[in-house]
Chains A and B, each alone.
Chain A
Amino acid sequence: DTAVSQTPKYLVTQMGNDKSIKCEQNLGHDTMYWYKQDSKKFLKIMFSYNNKELIINETVPNRFSPKSPDKAHLNLHINSLELGDSAVYFCASSQEPGVNQPQHFGDGTRLSIL
């Protein structure tokens, strides 16, 4: 009964490759997020979607492209992977964006670039 689930849990790949991370939430929330946690544990928001519409887009290289096929799913595609992309990527969801609501996080995808 995982509320926010991400796949894969681990992703090891070569520099220059393209990869995708998938996220699904079964909480009925309208808003989903992607966060990046670096090696020093610092958490930073990357994107947010509300009902399939992009509402937050932080300063992220355009090699990163989020896609939301429906409000329960938010995927992250990364082109031309670089060493600095190595991190743990977390998906989260909340009820609505207009009034701050608690965000529920998945268990992360650990991306390692060789």
Chain B
Amino acid sequence: GENVEQHPSTLSVQEGDSAVIKCTYSDSASNYFPWYKQELGKGPQLIIDIRSNVGEKKDQRIAVTLNKTAKHFSLHITETQPEDSAVYFCAASPSYGKLTFGQGTILTVHP
């Protein structure tokens, strides 16, 4: 089955800096890669996703890149703000909504 590795497990940045979280996956059949943000006491919230026919996608301060050959994808957050502090999860899915999640990254943005 699919295996997703996520790094780093914790990331601390100053407000205004950029943050990058990286994930690798094992199943070459995976074709859908969402990123979720989870705040304390809440469920995961989708922030951006990318499909295997696209190499990069951007939404305001958030961007995701995908390298299918190397089987890795990354989340980039620019101009970080304290409200970006949360746990971020990457995930991969070959089909039928079967998401396999990474281990999560605790992002702390210091004012």
Footprint of B on A, CB under 8 Å?
A: 4, 31, 33, 40-45, 48, 55-56, 90, 92, 94, 97-98, 100-108
**Known A56-B96, A98-B95, A103-B34: A42·B101 in contact at CB below 8 Å:** yes
Interface size class of B (residues with CB under 8 A): 20 to 34
Q: In the complex the two chains form, is B87's CB within 8 Å of A41's CB?
A: yes
In the complex formed, the residue of B with least CB distance to A108 is: B43
Q: In the complex the two chains form, is B87's CB within 8 Å of A90's CB?
A: no
Residue of B44, B97, B100 touching A31 (CB-CB under 8 A): B97
Residues of A within 8 A of B61 (CB): none
Q: In the complex the two chains form, is A107's CB within 8 Å of B97's CB?
A: no
Output the least CB separation between B81 and chain A (Å).
22
**Known A90-B44, A107-B43: A56·B97 in contact at CB below 8 Å:** yes
In the complex formed, the residue of A with least CB distance to B45 is: A105
Total A-B residue pairs with C-beta atoms closer than 8 Å? 62
Footprint of A on B, CB under 8 Å?
A: 31-32, 34, 36, 38, 41-46, 49, 51, 87, 89, 93, 95-101, 103-104
Residues of A within 8 A of B104 (CB): 41-43
A30 to B36, CA, bound (A): 21
**Known A41-B104, A42-B104, A43-B101: A98·B96 in contact at CB below 8 Å:** yes
Residues of B within 8 A of A45 (CB): 98-100
Besides A31-B97, A43-B101, 6 new A-B residue pairs in contact (Cβ under 8 A), listed by A number: A4-B43, A42-B101, A56-B96, A97-B95, A100-B31, A103-B99
**Known A48-B97, A55-B96, A97-B97: A102·B89 in contact at CB below 8 Å:** no
